[in-house]
Amino acid sequence: MTEVSTSRRTLLTASAATAAGLTLGACGSEDKSDTATERKPGEKITLMFWTWVPGIEKAVALWNKKNPDVQVKVEKVSPTNSAQYAKMHAALKAGNPPDLAQVEYQNIAEFLLDKGLLNLADHGAAEYRSKFVGWQWEQVVYDGGVYAIPQASGPMGMFYRHDLFRKWDIEPPATWDDYETAAKQIRKSGAYIGTFPASSGGWIASVAWQAGAQWFRTEGEKWIVGIDGEATRKVLTFWEGLVRGKLVKTIPVTQSAWYADIQSGDIVNWIGAQWGDALIKGNAPDTAGKWRAAPMPQWERGADASSNWGGSTTAVFTGAEHPKDAVDFAVWLNTDPESIDLLIKGGYGWPAAKQGFQGSSLDEASEFFDGQRYNEVFAASDKAVDTSWKWGPTTVPMFQHLTDELTEAMNGNASFTDAIGKVQKLVMDDMKEKGLKVEAA
């Protein structure tokens, strides 16, 4: 769910972050009603910022050096198992949220239900639209309002063990049919092409997104839910074939068992997002020089359909006393080249700023990836992401439903398409529980 951030470093800092979390509450305890005020010239303020991005403190320190009047204080929150959002929702309910927070694209609508996010268009955010990649900007726009400043994303691609593919004389699969053929060949050598991670809702959404699925949209007062649609069914039927044929494993990704398989060469391919590079490098350092990246396999040969997995924003919570300064900081953090450079070093993902990739340290040949300028794959992927995808307001429980129903199906009790039908029903129930009007697409 928070795959973007689940690097080793994040996990290491997670416990420290939780400990730090206990000490907060000192800031923001003043009455934070809707009395947003313009800062008087020369007045010194401190903005509280909840985030979990590794290394973001360095970028914030740079801002603090340049802006002595608007100091930003970072509080790390734990991204494990959506714990950070539980904390944010609780803080909003208790009336003492931070000024700024890291919120993933997929969770924005959920915070709107809490009335937790300020419409930044009221504070001059709309003028920054042209600084960001089109589809990423669209992810923060709901009903004409701008509810966050985009930070980073995870355009999808494919990592594969170049050395083993060559040894076994297998081409990196260009289509999903090729992928199945390659899976069979790789099985003969004793390894697996990959895993079907039922517990990675974000990944399942991204492979459906690539096939043209549209899970959510709004129509006036109503939400239209299309999880149980043709595209998603096609994708899941394909994966069900691989699972039932024992051509893929079914272990969760970015967890210890999967890392062990990546190290040992038991799994030799990963349909993953750009930020996965840091995970492979960090967790399987001995495989340096053996990996390469290629575009995601296609449903139609020669197409260039792509999608995204993960990605987040800097949002301003309602109750922030100085929203204009908060917006200025959020825009600077995510567009300033020096800041982006520091964030890339920390491994924050793919820049949402248009100028973020070119000339950055991402735009270089990598020894780990066999000397390939592998990020060119993801730059092309980022440009091809279907921009019409929207997230619903119950993403966290929706991912849990996906895990539950697909796992049950894998345990032999139902087909994947039955499972997705159930997920659709459960998600619609959740939304009705929230007092929303919902209709099936």
- Establish if 266 lies at the interface with another protein (CB under 8 A): yes
Q: Which positions from 340 to 379 touch another protein by CB under 8 A, shown as an x/- string? A: ----------------------------------------
**159, β-bridge pairs:** 270, 293
SS3 content of the chain, % helix, strand, coil (to 5): 45, 20, 35
- Establish if 29 lies at the interface with another protein (CB under 8 A): no
* CB burial of residue 112 (10 Å; 0-12, 13-18, 19+): middle
Distance (Å, rounded) from C-alpha 117 to C-alpha 393?
13
- CA angle, 403 then 437 then 121, to 5°: 90
Cβ-based nearer residue to another protein, 155 or 319: 319
- Establish if 261 lies at the interface with another protein (CB under 8 A): yes
Helix 256-264 and helix 276-283: axis angle, to 10°?
70
- Establish if 220 lies at the interface with another protein (CB under 8 A): yes
Which among 126-134, 156-164, 248-256, 320-328 is the span making contact with another protein, rule CB under 8 A? Answer: 248-256
Cβ-based nearer residue to another protein, 161 or 292: 161
Distance (Å, rounded) from C-alpha 28 to C-alpha 305?
45
User: Least CB distance from residue 198 to another protein, whole Å?
Assistant: 4
Of 33, 237, 256, 361, the one binding another protein (CB under 8 A) is: 256
Residue 277 has a CB neighbour count (10 Å cut-off) of 22
Cβ-based nearer residue to another protein, 203 or 357: 203
Q: Are 55 and 348 in contact (CB under 8 A)?
A: yes
Task: Provide the token pair at 318.
Answer: 């309602």
- Establish if 328 lies at the interface with another protein (CB under 8 A): no
User: Least CB distance from residue 268 to another protein, whole Å?
Assistant: 15
Task: Provide the token pair at 69.
Answer: 């009047």
- CA-based nearest residue to 105, from 73, 133, 75: 133
Task: Provide the token pair at 358.
Answer: 């070119």
Cβ-based nearer residue to another protein, 227 or 331: 227
Distance (Å, rounded) from C-alpha 153 to C-alpha 38?
32
Q: Look at the chain and count its residues.
A: 441
Which among 19-27, 246-254, 278-286, 336-344 is the span making contact with another protein, rule CB under 8 A? Answer: 246-254
Q: Which positions from 131 to 170 touch another protein by CB under 8 A, shown as an x/- string? A: -----------xx-x-------------------------
Of 32, 114, 174, 386, the one binding another protein (CB under 8 A) is: 114
**Contacts with another protein, residue ranges (CB under 8 A):** 80-83, 86, 89, 93, 109-110, 112-115, 142-143, 145, 198-199, 218-223, 250-252, 255-257, 260-261, 264, 266, 393-394, 396-397, 400-401, 403-404, 406-408, 410-411, 430, 433-437
